């Protein structure tokens, strides 16, 4: 198999690239040159947002293209149109954010979607991803695979959610743990996403798939306890009532990464129906493995994870922790 990996130097793209190399595939990575792609790949440089930015893709042929683009859909449109006659299949890494909010728990791939256009500039994340889906499907038809990922965790994470919890538990001491402990999570390890995507593309699968673990594959308890155990910092998890967190003004998801309280937001993010993906081979590794491997990767970087420049670093301040610990004690 000949794979063209678009933007394959960080997180999802890197995991897919490495999985393809492990299969013995011939991999070309098209990127802007800001980060080195994995060894063993052929590199092509270009900026998809600039005039002439796709010139390096003008001639070769590939069996599969994988695209992780999350900005203006026009970049997916132009790339997919250029490659439609020279590539066998196109896998677009989309997002479950394309479903119209609020969405009930148990929503499958046929749920209502946000509006999107392949001809639009950058609007907002959900609309941009939906526009990218349409662009891929317009150019490749039934040769397009739409991978609607949920929360993605694992090695190479450049958003900072799991790395923040790992570094914080490594420091030890009392730590507000957003409850309840048994609150179910739904996420996908980036390597499981990579494996399923390449398997599905090779099998000729097409159309949309929700790609996250089954509901309750992990809980806030199993997730944070795995972080505390693997880092060995002696963190003392103090489970904190969501009402206390709200009263303290600490924000879910951003200041308390991964956590969303029970309700509308939680149902939307952590309640997706993944029957279709499971029936086509999705296997999700235990949360303990995801956490341990991410911690080992962070160790190779001195504990400092890369951070996307278009995202704010997540996590609570020491002052916010103190407020929550005081509220819990009261």
pLDDT tens by residue, 196-224: 999 999 999 999 999 999 998 999 999 99
Q: What is the mean pLDDT of the chain?
A: 96
116-167 per-position pLDDT tens digit: 999 999 999 999 999 999 999 999 999 999 999 999 999 999 999 999 999 9
Same domain, 52 and 109: yes
Domain match, 60 and 112 both = yes
Please state the rounded mean pLDDT for residues 221-235. Answer: 96
Residue 143 has a CB neighbour count (10 Å cut-off) of 19
Q: What percent of the chain has pLDDT over 90?
A: 92
44 and 75 part of one domain: yes
The verdict on 106 and 165 lying in the same domain is no
Q: What is the pLDDT of residue 251?
A: 97
Q: What is the pLDDT of residue 299?
A: 96
Assess whether 131 and 245 both reside in one domain.
Answer: no
pLDDT at residue 328 is higher than 70: no
User: pLDDT tens, 275-296?
Assistant: 999 999 999 999 999 999 999 9
What residues make up the domain containing 306?
A: 157-185+215-272+285-329
Pairing of strands 207-211, 184-185: unpaired
Answer for the pair 161, 257: CB distance below 8 angstroms, yes or no.
yes
Selection from 127, 137, 99 nearest residue 273 by Cα = 99
239 three-state secondary structure = strand
Instruction: Give the confidence band of 329 by pLDDT, cuts at 50, 70, 90.
Output: low
Residues ≥6 apart with Cβ < 8 Å to 263: none
For residues 115 and 135, membership in a common domain is answered with yes
Answer yes or no: do 142 and 233 share one domain. Answer: no
In a domain, 15, yes or no: yes
């Amino acid at each position: 198999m000949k794979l063209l990996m678009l933007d394959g130097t960080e997180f999802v793209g890197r995991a897919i690239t490495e999985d393809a190399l492990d299969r013995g595939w011939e991999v070309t990575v098209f990127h802007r040159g800001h980060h080195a792609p994995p060894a063993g790949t052929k590199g092509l440089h270009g900026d998809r947002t600039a005039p002439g930015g796709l010139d390096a893709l003008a001639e070769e042929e590939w069996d599969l293209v994988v695209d992780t683009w999350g900005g203006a859909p026009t970049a997916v449109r132009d790339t997919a149109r250029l490659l439609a006659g020279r590539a066998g299949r196109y896998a677009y890494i989309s997002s479950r954010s394309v479903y119209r909010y609020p969405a009930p728990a148990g929503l499958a791939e046929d749920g209502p979607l946000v509006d999107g256009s392949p001809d639009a500039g950058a609007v907002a994340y959900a609309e941009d991803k939906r526009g990218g889906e349409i662009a891929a499907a317009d150019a490749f038809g039934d040769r397009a695979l739409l991978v609607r990922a949920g929360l993605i965790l694992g090695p190479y994470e450049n958003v900072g959610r799991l790395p923040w919890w790992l570094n914080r538990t490594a420091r030890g001491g009392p730590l507000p743990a957003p409850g309840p402990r048994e609150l179910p999570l739904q996420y996908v390890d980036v390597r499981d996403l990579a494996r399923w995507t390449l398997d599905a593309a090779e099998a000729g699968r097409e159309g949309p798939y929700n790609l996250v673990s089954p509901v309750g594959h992990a809980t806030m308890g199993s997730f944070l306890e795995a972080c505390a155990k693997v880092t060995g910092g002696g963190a003392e998890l103090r489970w904190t009532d969501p009402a206390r967190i709200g009263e303290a003004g600490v924000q879910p998801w951003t200041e308390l990464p991964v956590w969303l309280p029970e309700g509308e937001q939680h149902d939307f993010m952590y309640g997706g129906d993944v029957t279709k993906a499971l029936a086509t081979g999705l296997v999700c590794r235990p949360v303990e493995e995801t956490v341990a491997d991410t911690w080992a990767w962070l160790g190779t970087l001195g504990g400092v994870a890369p951070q996307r420049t278009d995202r704010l670093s997540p996590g609570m301040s020491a002052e916010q922790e103190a407020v929550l610990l005081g509220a819990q004690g009261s």
